[in-house]
């Protein structure tokens, strides 16, 4: 199947549609089971219909009807052999067909695009890599170069994935991972059926998980109070790039990558700064690289108990440098990681 230029790609999407807004909505009730929610006294509080397991298929995670509201949660796996393409304006027709086939519904593409209210949207892209058979090196390069803002949490899972998460009230997560390896481990049945049709070799998948209406409006520049699936899929905003720039202080990272061994000397311009670096390095050794413990120590010196973002960023930058130095990476490896980090940064800018 050939695809025209698309705007957004989604993997897992979760949305509601109010059936009164649909024209002559129909479905096969026999495909559903009745579910009940009761209070402590056994009084029925809610009653809804949920699609029976035997009518589900790959990627159809949930289909239920409560009163007049249809709830749908699907992943790109519902596309089968076109899974790699993700849920886009070009593939949404296939998604609707598969939903309708599951229970003889009569949803239209227009229904799901314009009459839905989004609950979550996982924005996803496949990044083709210049170098072959080394996805793990690209994961390591992101870990090596990523210096974040004061709320960034970075977790690396071996050579297969790296998660960037902001410590905020609403979930903010950006993950880069080896999709081929993930399918083989977590979606074995799907991979067994479609492994000859989908190819993720030498491809790094990046995924942004968005789970609030406010974040959807912010990420894709939307004005509607309750964004529809069509609003998001039609958006021309590169939300992955926008969030990568929020999660990672690229200006500091690039400076660090270009001048790895001399950054500290360039930064330390006064005796006081030299003394602070000496203090931080001793704490780095004492706390075995746990930057959170040092930030907690610093927080005691501020009236509101919060370390200023600029100060926190500086401390994290130094700890990042010392952590990488402690790993005793060779100059060749450093250069390799720097090259790959810059490659990913450039490709993220061109995702749309």
* Token output for 56: 């589900």
Q: Over the range 258-280, which residues count as b (16 or more CB within 10 Å of their CB) and which as e?
A: eebeebbeeeeeeeeeeeebeeb
Count of CB atoms within 10 A of residue 90's CB?
19
Q: What is the pLDDT, as a whole number, of residue 257?
A: 63
Mean pLDDT confidence for 261-273: 52
Helix, strand, or coil (residue 159)? coil
Q: What is the pLDDT, as a whole number, of residue 224?
A: 86
Count of CB atoms within 10 A of residue 82's CB?
19
**Residue 249 contacts residue 149 (beta carbons within 8 Å):** yes
Q: Is the pLDDT of residue 278 over 80?
A: no
Q: What is the pLDDT, as a whole number, of residue 262?
A: 45
Share of the chain above pLDDT 90, in %: 57
Q: What is the pLDDT, as a whole number, of residue 266?
A: 46
* Token output for 220: 């894709």
Helix, strand, or coil (residue 25)? coil
CA nearest 107: which of 251, 229, 275, 242? 229
* Token output for 229: 């699936």
Q: Which residue has the higher pLDDT, 93 or 44?
A: 93
247 confidence band (pLDDT: 50, 70, 90): confident
Residue 263, Ramachandran bin (φ over 0: left; ψ between -120 and 50: alpha; else beta): alpha
Q: What is the pLDDT, as a whole number, of residue 269?
A: 54
- Give the whole-angstrom CA distance, residue 102 versus residue 94: 13
Which CA distances in Å does 165 have to 96, 150, 176, 270?
32, 11, 12, 34
User: What is the 8-class DSSP label of residue 107?
Assistant: -
Q: Which residue intervals of the chain are DSSP H helices?
A: 92-103, 109-114, 135-145, 179-186, 188-194, 213-220, 229-234, 239-247, 250-258, 263-267, 271-286, 291-299, 309-326, 331-349
User: What is the 8-class DSSP label of residue 307?
Assistant: -
Q: Across the chain, which distance is largest between two alpha carbons, in Å?
A: 78
Q: Which residue has the higher pLDDT, 5 or 99?
A: 99
Q: What is the pLDDT, as a whole number, of residue 2?
A: 39
Q: Is the pLDDT of residue 163 over 80?
A: yes
Q: Is the pLDDT of residue 218 over 50?
A: yes
Mean pLDDT is highest, among 6-20, 40-54, 72-86, for 72-86
Q: Is the pLDDT of residue 261 over 50?
A: no
Q: What is the pLDDT, as a whole number, of residue 255?
A: 61
User: What is the 8-class DSSP label of residue 7?
Assistant: S
Does the pTM surpass 0.85? The reply is no
Kindly report which listed range (93-107, 159-173, 257-271, 295-309) carries the lowest average pLDDT score.
Answer: 257-271
Residue 290, Ramachandran bin (φ over 0: left; ψ between -120 and 50: alpha; else beta): beta
Residues 6+ apart with CB under 8 A from 244: 164, 174, 250, 345, 348
Q: What is the pLDDT, as a whole number, of residue 58?
A: 97
**Residue 160 contacts residue 182 (beta carbons within 8 Å):** yes
């Amino acid at each position: 199947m050939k695809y025209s230029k698309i705007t957004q790609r989604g993997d897992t999407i979760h949305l509601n549609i109010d059936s009164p807004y649909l024209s002559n909505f129909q479905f096969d009730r026999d495909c559903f089971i009745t579910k009940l929610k009761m209070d402590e006294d056994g009084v029925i509080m809610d009653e809804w219909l949920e699609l029976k397991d035997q009518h589900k298929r790959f990627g159809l995670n949930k289909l239920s009807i409560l009163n007049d509201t249809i709830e749908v949660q699907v992943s790109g796996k519902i596309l089968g052999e076109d899974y790699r393409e993700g849920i886009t304006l070009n593939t949404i027709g296939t998604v609707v067909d598969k939903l309708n086939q599951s229970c003889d519904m009569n949803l239209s593409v227009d229904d799901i695009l314009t009459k839905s209210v989004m609950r979550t949207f996982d924005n996803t892209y496949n990044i083709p890599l210049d170098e072959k058979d080394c996805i793990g090196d690209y994961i390591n390069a992101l870990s090596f170069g990523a210096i974040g803002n004061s709320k960034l949490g970075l977790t690396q899972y071996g050579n297969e994935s790296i998660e960037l998460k902001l410590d905020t009230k609403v979930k903010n997560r950006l993950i880069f991972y080896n999709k081929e390896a993930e399918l083989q481990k977590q979606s074995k049945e799907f991979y067994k059926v479609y492994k000859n049709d989908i190819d993720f070799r030498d491809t790094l998948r990046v995924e942004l998980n968005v789970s609030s209406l406010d974040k959807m409006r912010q990420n894709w520049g939307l004005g509607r109070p309750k964004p529809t699936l069509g609003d998001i899929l039609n958006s021309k905003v590169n939300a992955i790039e926008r969030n990568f720039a929020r999660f990672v202080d690229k200006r500091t990272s690039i400076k660090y990558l270009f001048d790895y061994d001399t950054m500290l000397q360039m930064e330390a311009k006064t005796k006081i700064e030299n003394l602070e670096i000496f203090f931080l390095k001793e704490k780095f050794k004492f706390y075995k690289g746990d930057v959170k413990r040092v930030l907690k120590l610093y927080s005691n010196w501020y009236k509101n108990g919060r370390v200023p973002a600029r100060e926190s960023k500086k401390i994290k930058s130094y700890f990042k440098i010392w952590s990488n130095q402690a790993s005793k990476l060779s100059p060749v490896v450093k250069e390799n990681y720097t090259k790959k980090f810059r490659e990913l940064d450039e490709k993220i800018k061109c995702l749309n």
